[in-house]
Amino acid sequence: MSLFKKRKDHRQKENDIWENNRLQTAGTIQRGDVDLDFEDTSEPTVQLSTHHLTPPFLNGTNVFTIQKDPISAVRDPQSDLAVAARRGSGLVQQRRQQKERQSKAKDAASLVGSVIGEVLGVENKEDNNDTKNNNKYNTDDKDEDDADSKDEPKLSIQEQRKTLPAYSAREDVLKMIRDNQVVVIIGETGSGKTTQLTQFLNEDGYGRLGMIACTQPRRVAAVSVAQRVAEEMGVKVGDEVGYSIRFEDVTTDKTIIKYMTDGILLRETLVDSDLDKYSCIIMDEAHERTLSTDVLMGLFKNLLERRRNLKLIITSATMNADRFSKFFGNAPQFTIPGRTFPVDVMFSKFTVEDYVESAVKQALTIHLQSGPGDILIFMTGQEDVDVTCEVLADKLKQLDDPPPLEILPMYSSLPAEQQKKIFKKTKPGYRKVVVATNIAETSLTVDGIAFVIDPGYSKLKVYNARIGLESLAITPISLANANQRSGRAGRTGPGSCYRLYTEKAAREDMYPQTIPEIQRTNLSNTILLLKSLKIDDLIKFPFLDPPPKETITASLYELWSIGALDNFGKLTELGHRMSKFPLQPALSKLLLISSENGCSEEMVIIVSMLSVPSVFYRPKERQEESDISRSRFFVPESDHLTLLNVYSQWKANNFSDFWCKKHFLHNKSLKKAKDIKEQIEVIMNSNKIPVVSSGYEWDIVRKCICSGYFYQAAKVHGFGEYVNLRTGMKLQLHPTSALFGMADLPQYVVYHELMLTTKEYISTVTAVDPLWLVEFGAVFFAVRDKNKNKENGLKKRKIEEELEKDAKSYEEQKVKAKNKTTKKAKPVVNIGMNANRRRRGF
């Protein structure tokens, strides 16, 4: 706090000097003695210069990937689809602005809390409309569904198993698995492949040879499927059937069938590269092509040669099945017969201006003019889903006695009770319209859907390696996704799909397949893991789709800058210790550096809080009250310390749920952070890393945060703005930051995340001393006036000398390796060797 006070005094003195100068120039006051010494002797302002040093292994001579050009998330950036995606929905923007104006007008007109309000006795009536808001799109809120479901006869679990398409193909599937090491199984969502394949293998005796693993791309799927299989087998979750996700392992020595995320299995290869405890591994939903799935594919290609007794089953929707088969030497494919019906696909005659407005019109046309059957509308995100539901409800109210329509939203953050409603049978005489994100493409199946409305967009995670920006952008979907969406209409009977884009746009402006995550995300964590598996030559690693050169180079540079790789691209001791944590490399380094500086207990809490969704809750009905409550937790220098303060206060109140509700905090997020904290402490104890507290000395915590995020440093620029020290990009503080709105912003900050919405926002920000940036990030920063700080000024020169020395050594090693391989070159035909091979029976 003293640093901020000194800087404030320094600026105040400068303002006073300027003000006196203006008054003297105007003749308002007499010119007295002029103080020509404008230097502030109390605390000099440290100015940093930025430089760019490159290690020898990144000098441009090495090749790390065959994919040289970056891959755009959009096939044609100038197409009508791409332009409409960048523009977004005008109706959504209009609704957003309308809500903001209404909220401000309501606050301005409200007498609550004012002097007049107190005189008149106006009390603050809290909106207890949570239950109403859950069904705000539906006028009829009766529990007739429960009554209907009680009258319907229910099938037992075993009878439900036998109705699944996968069950009828049981013997054929098992025969193919017995005869082949790798099998690609094609089955649509709802065919039963996820729940039944593991049980088939266990019943066939594979469980006696080792565990049966099934990977899932999503944590929620791994948990829910494990619970379902345990129920079908009549056992408890954690006994014969268990699951393992990040920071949560529900397995025991009895576990035979284990569901897990693909990232967990990838980390298990660090401990056991041959995965000896598994007899069968099922890679479910492989068509989603997550980062971990692609890396596991490459590892399995080598692993299957070493372990001939290991069975690999890849399950996929129709898309990508041929790619997987060819990758594993034309592995056989088996298609589980589904319940698909013909779907009539209709394209728009022209590109629509507003996809939300057009989807609403199409839904109402279907509802008023078409036969029975429910409607499924695909939208890009939660805001689009909510606006579509609101506009649909408003339009229905304007009609004279329309047929009843049940409007149901669906997205991943929706409460479980709300999600279940979309699976309930529609009431007699009603039609159901489900407005969903792309979660309804493959992850779940809604029976009764006869009409699908496809705007042709989805949100895709995109990574810009040049500025280190990872963002969710609205982009046109691929043809494979479009076919998957249209297939949703043909599950229970013949259906129709209305595509809100032209046939020409689908043919020319959409990729055939979705770009794999490995080609559009930061790879620093993946490369660190591969390096720890002693895979140094990345060009030889069998990627299903190689990552772009720009992305892989930026990730290698990031790992080198934080000390995980040396000047030759080899894993350092620090990098080896960082790979033990299932975290991003920067967060892993924070934990290791904090243990050396005596504040690891505080850092474990901060890392845990960063690993869960936002703990702050901001209900629409009480936004102002929740903002005031949030501000009470603010620590002015740091959002990281604000998170630490929240957890400390929650702990001081005995982890109370009531306390969380009172202060607008998500108790589930805090409980998850507590579980993650305990898991990280277990990892630290197993690696003999001390967990110690610094007490109330939080400056050392800020210094340790700087050690991990110095490459994401920014300097104040103008009023309320920052500029990235390395890229020069202008940045804005996110409105949720504790530093937002401060009159005297800190000169230098580091940030955890860069977000791209209407502007480039930095969130979870911490003020740092510029000398800390020089201490930890000497590869980027140096003090501009070296005479004031000779030690820090010499750091750059020392690093440059070390790099020059290592560059010469690196070139000599490359020449020696080249000569060695040239000397070992053998003739193509060696008669003696072939004769020996024949004698040995080859």
The string of DSSP codes covering 526-537 is: HHHHHHHTT---
Question: Which pLDDT score is estimated for 192?
Answer: 80
Question: Which pLDDT score is estimated for 131?
Answer: 37
Same domain, 208 and 298: yes
Question: Which pLDDT score is estimated for 365?
Answer: 93
Q: Regarding beta strands 333-335 and 248-250, do their DSSP bridges make them parallel or antiparallel, or are they unpaired?
A: unpaired
Q: Is residue 835 predicted with pLDDT exceeding 50?
A: no
Same domain, 303 and 358: no
Task: Give the count of beta carbons closer than 10 Å to the beta carbon of residue 582.
Answer: 21
pLDDT band at 822; cut points 50, 70, 90: low
Q: Is residue 592 predicted with pLDDT exceeding 90?
A: yes
Cα separations in angstroms, 800 against 51, 54, 548, 807: 11, 9, 29, 10
Question: Which pLDDT score is estimated for 114?
Answer: 54
Three-class SS state of 107: helix
Question: Which pLDDT score is estimated for 820?
Answer: 64
Same domain, 303 and 352: no
DSSP string, 158-169: HHHHHHSHHHHT
User: Which residue in this structure is represented by tokens 């230098």?
Assistant: 748
Same domain, 203 and 309: yes
Which of 11-15, 650-654, 782-786, 789-793 is predicted most confidently? Answer: 650-654
User: Which residue in this structure is represented by tokens 């040396």?
Assistant: 566
For residues 641 and 696, give the distance between their C-alpha atoms in angstroms, rounded to a whole number.
11
pLDDT band at 694; cut points 50, 70, 90: confident
Task: Give the count of beta carbons closer than 10 Å to the beta carbon of residue 215.
Answer: 26
Q: Is residue 463 predicted with pLDDT exceeding 80?
A: yes
Which residue in 457, 500, 191, 498 sits closest to 375, CA to CA?
498
**Residues with Cβ < 8 Å from 320, sequence gap 6 or more?**
286, 287, 289, 480, 513
- How many folded domains does the chain comprise? 4
Question: Which pLDDT score is estimated for 751?
Answer: 92
Same domain, 189 and 233: yes
Tell whether 143 is covered by a domain. Answer: no
Lowest mean pLDDT of 34-38, 566-570, 747-751, name the range.
34-38
Helix boundaries (H) for 347-478: 355-369, 382-398, 416-420, 439-442
For residues 689 and 414, give the distance between their C-alpha atoms in angstroms, rounded to a whole number.
39
Question: Which pLDDT score is estimated for 92?
Answer: 83
Tell whether 508 is covered by a domain. Answer: yes
Q: Which residue has the higher pLDDT, 155 or 239?
A: 239
For residues 303 and 438, give the distance between their C-alpha atoms in angstroms, rounded to a whole number.
34
Tell whether 505 is covered by a domain. Answer: yes
> Mean per-residue pLDDT for 286-310?
89
Question: Which pLDDT score is estimated for 476?
Answer: 92
Question: Which pLDDT score is estimated for 500?
Answer: 93
For residues 183 and 422, give the distance between their C-alpha atoms in angstroms, rounded to a whole number.
34
Q: What mean pLDDT, rounded, does the chain reach?
A: 81
Question: Which pLDDT score is estimated for 834?
Answer: 42
pLDDT in tens, 135-192: 556 544 444 444 444 444 556 777 777 778 888 888 999 999 999 999 999 887 667 8
For residues 23 and 622, give the distance between their C-alpha atoms in angstroms, rounded to a whole number.
48
pLDDT band at 118; cut points 50, 70, 90: low
Question: Which pLDDT score is estimated for 319?
Answer: 62
Tell whether 672 is covered by a domain. Answer: yes
pLDDT in tens, 197-233: 999 999 999 989 999 999 988 887 888 889 889 988 8
For residues 807 and 84, give the distance between their C-alpha atoms in angstroms, rounded to a whole number.
49
Q: DSSP letter for 149, please.
A: H
Q: Are 548 and 65 in contact (CB under 8 A)?
A: yes
Characterise 229 by phi-psi region: left (phi > 0), alpha (psi -120 to 50), beta (else). alpha
Question: Which pLDDT score is estimated for 416?
Answer: 64
Domain end: 725, 748, 781, which one? 781
pLDDT band at 809; cut points 50, 70, 90: confident
Question: Which pLDDT score is estimated for 44?
Answer: 54
pTM of the model: 0.78
The DSSP bridge partners found for residue 244 are: 249, 260
CATH number where 251 lies: 3.40.50.300
Question: Which pLDDT score is estimated for 109?
Answer: 57
Tell whether 199 is covered by a domain. Answer: yes
Q: Which residue has the higher pLDDT, 460 or 26?
A: 460
CA 835, 836, 841, 842 torsion-angle sign: negative
Domain end: 289, 311, 335, which one? 335
Burial track 592-617 (b if 16+ CB lie within 10 A, e otherwise):
bbbbeebbbbbbbbbbbbbbbeebbb
For residues 653 and 433, give the distance between their C-alpha atoms in angstroms, rounded to a whole number.
44
Same domain, 305 and 363: no
Tell whether 729 is covered by a domain. Answer: yes
Question: Which pLDDT score is estimated for 152?
Answer: 47
pLDDT band at 537; cut points 50, 70, 90: confident
Same domain, 376 and 330: no
Cα separations in angstroms, 230 against 170, 212, 219, 224: 19, 14, 17, 10
Tokens in use for 107?
């606050």
**Whole-number percent of the chain with pLDDT over 90:** 26
Q: Is residue 813 predicted with pLDDT exceeding 80?
A: no
CA 320, 326, 331, 333 torsion-angle sign: positive
Lowest mean pLDDT of 396-400, 463-467, 473-477, 810-814, name the range.
810-814
Domain end: 514, 539, 559, which one? 514
Q: Which residue has the higher pLDDT, 134 or 106?
A: 106
Same domain, 508 and 367: yes
**Residues with Cβ < 8 Å from 746, sequence gap 6 or more?**
4, 7, 637, 716, 739, 767, 768
pLDDT band at 818; cut points 50, 70, 90: low
Q: Are 726 and 780 in contact (CB under 8 A)?
A: yes
Q: Are 352 and 501 in contact (CB under 8 A)?
A: yes
> Mean per-residue pLDDT for 423-431?
83
Q: Are 720 and 730 in contact (CB under 8 A)?
A: no
Residue 36 sits in which domain range? 2-45
Backbone angles phi, psi at 191, to 5 degrees: -80, -15
Three-class SS state of 796: helix
Question: Amino acid identity, residue 163?
Answer: T
Tokens in use for 260?
């897990």
pLDDT band at 578; cut points 50, 70, 90: very high
Same domain, 735 and 608: yes
Same domain, 322 and 394: no
Same domain, 232 and 349: no
Question: Which pLDDT score is estimated for 415?
Answer: 66
Q: Is residue 395 predicted with pLDDT exceeding 80?
A: yes
> Mean per-residue pLDDT for 361-378?
92
**Residues with Cβ < 8 Å from 141, sequence gap 6 or more?**
135
pLDDT band at 122; cut points 50, 70, 90: low
Question: Which pLDDT score is estimated for 93?
Answer: 83
Same domain, 298 and 364: no
Question: Amino acid identity, residue 567?
Answer: N
Which residue in 546, 519, 448, 442 sits closest to 489, CA to CA?
448
For residues 334 and 197, give the distance between their C-alpha atoms in angstroms, rounded to a whole number.
13
**Residues with Cβ < 8 Å from 842, sequence gap 6 or more?**
none
Question: Which pLDDT score is estimated for 138?
Answer: 59
pLDDT band at 620; cut points 50, 70, 90: low
Tell whether 53 is covered by a domain. Answer: no
Question: Which pLDDT score is estimated for 31?
Answer: 53
CATH number where 700 lies: 1.20.120.1080
User: How many Cα atoms sit within 13 Å of 433 on the Cβ side?
Assistant: 31
Question: Which pLDDT score is estimated for 90?
Answer: 85
Three-class SS state of 380: coil
Which residue in 481, 479, 489 sits closest to 453, CA to CA?
489
For residues 369 and 451, give the distance between their C-alpha atoms in angstroms, rounded to a whole number.
12
Q: Is residue 602 predicted with pLDDT exceeding 90?
A: yes
Q: Which residue has the higher pLDDT, 592 or 830?
A: 592
Tell whether 567 is covered by a domain. Answer: no
Q: Is residue 780 predicted with pLDDT exceeding 50?
A: yes
